[in-house]
Amino acid sequence: MDPQISITAKDDDDVADHFLRHIERLNDIGIALSSEPNLNRLLEIILMGAKELTNADAGTMYSVTERQTLKFEILRTDSLGIAMGGTTGIPINFPELPLYKDGVPNLQMIAAFSTLKQTTVNIPDAYEAEGFDFSGTRAFDKRTHYRSKSFLTVPLKNHENEIIGVLQLINAKDAKTQEIITFSKEYQKLAESLASQAAIALTNQKLISDLKALFESFIQAIASAIDDKSPYTGGHCHRVPVLAEMLGRAVSDSQEGALKDINFSDDEMYELKIASWLHDCGKVVTPTEVVDKGTKLESIFDRIHLVDTRFEVLKRDLEISFLKKKMASLEAGEKLDFTSQEMALQQELQQIDADRKFVREANIGGEFMSSQYQDRIHAIAKRRWIDSDGLEKTFLTDNEVYNLNIPKGTITPEEREIINNHVVATIKMLDAIPFPKHLKRVPEIAGGHHEQMNGKGYPKGLTGEKMSIQARMVAIADVFEALTARDRPYKKGKPLSASLQILGFMKKDGHIDPDLFKLFIDKKIYLDYAQEYLAPEQIDPVYLEKIPGYTP
């Protein structure tokens, strides 16, 4: 066999193998591009893949900004050991490259030229190229003792024929001698093919990112609408996610105890965040007069003003009755001593004022109303008064007595049932949404924040083992935010010590998760939250040994 023919055949085989290896590597990079969700890693895959395919020493990835500039995203130079941008955490402080100068296209800079002309630029030697400004390149070379020679600049074009970025490769190297060579046509085609795949990947990620931003904005708009619906719970839907995420991070960071083996993924933390934002979305169907019931007698308006008027009528009628008797006596020429009657009248008027003050205080609501106070409301109700039609009536209606004798807060059991129904509405609303796979548990997490570990919560009466850990975290966040909130109608925001004491009793009674409760205190999550969201006067000393159910 002719030796020359044999060598030629071998060379052809080497070329074919080399070509196949490049095609396989290009496919591998394409697969990696399609599955990478992180933008910085995605940009690195593009740049590092292009450098590998073309055997380039250096490269830069630019993104096209809305400011009509090119922004440095990633920069690598192997021979100089330079790695900036991307996942390195090292910022690129180079100024952005303008696409226009004073309204005129910037065609002197090669990256800007490639963007504006939407074309690949392949330059054998930057120092000999004409028509481009390489002064910045020369300054870099002088400063670093580098020699920038061959350039391959490829624009990344999306499906709408827009340039979204630029891939620039510098100094292709001969595979055997490592000498700097021109980027071959094969290398250019590989880079252009990779750039095409990269543009699709970047566009898809931007679409996903835009949809995610739209989704979150819509969720936060719902939460804001719920908070705005009631001035008394404004901010609740915004603050609960803060607490829930703080708990989530603490659980993932835990190295000991019952929670040490739980480590939430990014998707699980995002699921917790979304569920926390939506945990009260069912309140959109709760009547405003119930949500905004700031006093016991409030409905469309506060009926305490009607009761006040009755007290005034009662006092007026007593005074008029007394004066009539006195005038009749004088007209009859009787000389009676009314001193004792005047004293009795004044005592009665004072009692009426005291009763009015008591009713007004009872109307405000609070943490507890004793049976003795409730009996006094019943006694006041038995008074008689004359209405504008001259009809004698009991002083308080049955409904007014029922509301004034609410033992805790301002809400009747029936109104509480209406409010509690917001959880059912939340679950119903969220079950109707086709959440993607990584958010499938949002309805369960959001709808479980009023369940209790002992099974006495609502709406399903779930016990702890039937609740996800995320739902239990939202439950604690919901309770602690409510305890410390300064905008509730019937109470002031509690200080830390009192809030933790109540939380401790809830733990002892089996309402909340004991392990999460301990972590909440151990990691001082309550204090981190307080320093950001509580008033200074609420941040009082906390003595851990005094917290019920807590063992340091």
Q: Domain range for residue 500?
A: 230-292+414-546
184 and 235 co-located in one domain: no
One domain for residues 287 and 317: no
Task: Look at residue 225 and tell me if it is in a domain.
Answer: no
Q: Are 247 and 520 in contact (CB under 8 A)?
A: yes
190-214: burial string, b at 16+ Cβ within 10 Å, e else: bbbbbbebbbbbbbebeeeeeeeee
Clarify whether residues 256 and 356 are in a common domain. no
pLDDT per residue rounded down to tens, the chain (552 residues)? 444 444 444 444 454 565 566 666 766 776 766 667 777 888 888 888 889 889 999 999 999 999 999 999 999 999 999 999 988 989 999 999 999 999 999 999 999 999 999 999 999 999 999 899 999 899 999 999 999 999 999 999 988 889 999 999 999 999 889 999 999 998 899 899 888 888 888 888 888 888 888 988 988 888 888 777 766 666 888 899 999 999 999 999 998 888 999 999 999 999 999 999 999 888 888 887 777 787 888 887 889 999 999 999 999 999 998 898 888 887 877 776 778 888 988 999 999 999 999 999 999 887 788 999 999 999 999 999 998 888 999 999 999 999 999 998 888 989 888 888 888 999 999 999 999 999 999 999 999 999 999 999 999 999 999 999 999 999 999 999 999 987 665 567 899 999 999 999 999 999 999 999 999 999 999 999 999 999 999 999 999 999 999 988
State how far the alpha carbon of 290 is from the alpha carbons of 57, 238, 407, 426, in Å.
Answer: 69, 21, 17, 17
Looking at residue 22, what is its pLDDT? 63
Largest CA distance in the chain: 158
Kindly state whether residues 478 and 390 are assigned to the same domain: no
Please tell me the predicted confidence (pLDDT) of residue 231.
61
Q: Which of 158, 178, 208 is the last residue of a domain?
A: 208
Identify the domain boundary among 383, 408, 433: 408
Residue 215 lies in a domain: no
The whole-number pLDDT of residue 202 equals: 84
Residue 286, domain member (yes or no): yes
Residue with tokens 């008394």: 232
Q: How far is CA 476 from the centre of its chain?
A: 16
| Final residue in a domain of this structure, among 352, 386, 408 | 408
Considering the domain boundaries, does residue 217 fall inside one?
Answer: no
CA-derived radius of gyration, the chain: 38
The DSSP output letter for 395 is S
CB atoms within 10 A of CB 263: 11
* 124 & 204 share domain: yes
| Cis status, amide bond into 459, omega within 30 of 0 | yes
Distance CA 98, CA 67 (A): 8
Write the CATH number for 68.
Answer: 3.30.450.40
- Are 269 and 186 within one domain? no
Sequence-distant (6+) residues with CB within 8 A of 329 are 336, 338
Spatial contact of 69 and 98, defined as CB atoms under 8 Å apart: yes
Residue 474 belongs to some domain of the structure: yes
Q: What H or E segment, with its residue span, contains residue 481? A: helix 469-484
Shared domain for 243 and 124, answered yes or no, is no
φ/ψ of 544, rounded to 5, equals -55, -35
Same domain? 74 vs 193: yes
Considering only CA atoms, which of 152, 148, 149 is closest in space to residue 114? 152
The kind and range of the H/E element at 417 are: helix 413-431
Counts for the chain of helices (H) and strands (E), in that order? 18, 12
Token pair recorded at residue 85: 């941008």
Distance from C-alpha of 502 to C-alpha of 496, rounded to nearest angstrom = 10
Smallest Cα–Cα separation from 282: which of 414, 122, 450? 450
Does one domain contain both 510 and 527? yes
| Same domain, residue pair 478 and 402 | no
310 and 288 assigned to the same domain: no
Q: Which residues contact 61 (CB under 8 A, 6 or more apart)?
A: 43, 46, 47, 72, 73, 74, 75, 85, 165, 166, 167, 168
In eight-state DSSP terms, residue 127 is T
Phi-psi category of 262—alpha, beta or left, where left has phi over 0 and alpha has psi -120 to 50?
Answer: beta
Please give the model's pTM, rounded to 2 decimal places: 0.69
Using alpha carbons, select from 386, 364, 378, 317 the residue that is nearest to residue 345: 317
Contacts for 392 with CB less than 8 Å, ≥ 6 apart: 384, 385, 386
In a domain, 222, yes or no: no
CA–CA gap between residue 410 and residue 416 (Å, rounded):
10
β partners of residue 121: 153
What's the number of domains the chain is made of?
Answer: 3
Same domain, yes or no, for 503 and 386? no
From the list 338, 50, 321, the residue with the least C-alpha distance to 166 is 50
Q: Residue 219 domain-assigned? A: no
What pLDDT was estimated at residue 3? 42
In a domain, 339, yes or no: yes
In CATH, what number is assigned to the domain containing residue 265? 1.10.3210.10
DSSP classification of residue 205: H
Q: What pLDDT sits at residue 36?
A: 73
